[in-house]
Amino acid sequence: MSHPSLNAIFERCTEEGDCWLWQDGVNGAGWPSISIGGRTQYVRRVVRGMMDGEPVPARMRVPAKCGQRLCVSPYCSIVCTHRTSHRMAAERGAFGRPDAILRTTLRQRAQSAYSDELVSQIRTSEEDTATVCQRTGMSSSHVRRIRSGEARRDLSNPLNGLGARA
């Protein structure tokens, strides 16, 4: 195709806050791509160039502040050096880990047959493991794992599960 208008690109996205999430073609690495005059180009870079009124220099990167690979929004993209772009990605990685733990914990919790009330009662009670097993039907290893925090991590303390266990 010839050079697309900003509107033509916007129409191929779904809007999510400031983000424009590209719904059309991506390259092998999953980056929104578009063929202009027979050349494959990154959509985010094309949009940035249109907003700035001049093409983004080839040596510069165009990361999205939101961290979403499919986002081509000019409200999210910035022009920066490779070094800054790498730092942004590393910072996102550092904050990505608690998210992953939260997702895993919520998934495990959804699969668990025991209520949160029961779990917290088991954690605070003075009963020995065998008594709890008899009363609840839980296996002794599960009771031990709940009490140690390995199972049913307490999400009210963000440091749990991050290696900060006392």
| Residue span 106-145 as binding mask against Zn ion, x where in contact by CB under 5 A, dash where not | ----------------------------------------
Based on CB atoms, which residue is closest to Zn ion, 76 or 146?
76
Based on CB atoms, which residue is closest to Zn ion, 19 or 119?
19
Shortest reach from residue 10's CB to Zn ion, in Å: 13
Shortest reach from residue 71's CB to Zn ion, in Å: 3
Based on CB atoms, which residue is closest to Zn ion, 71 or 122?
71
Q: Does 66 bind Zn ion (CB under 5 A)?
A: yes
With CB under 5 A as the contact rule, the residue among 46, 62, 70, 76 that binds Zn ion is: 76
d(CA 101, CA 79): 32
Q: Does 19 bind Zn ion (CB under 5 A)?
A: yes
Tokens at 43, concatenated:
């959509």
Shortest reach from residue 74's CB to Zn ion, in Å: 10
Q: Contact region for Zn ion (CB under 5 A) — 4-12, 13-21, 144-152, 157-165?
A: 13-21
Q: Contact region for Zn ion (CB under 5 A) — 38-46, 62-70, 97-105, 122-130?
A: 62-70
Contacts of 105 by beta carbon, 8 Å cutoff, 6+ apart: 152, 153, 155, 161
Residues interacting with Zn ion, by CB under 5 A?
19, 64, 66, 71, 73, 76
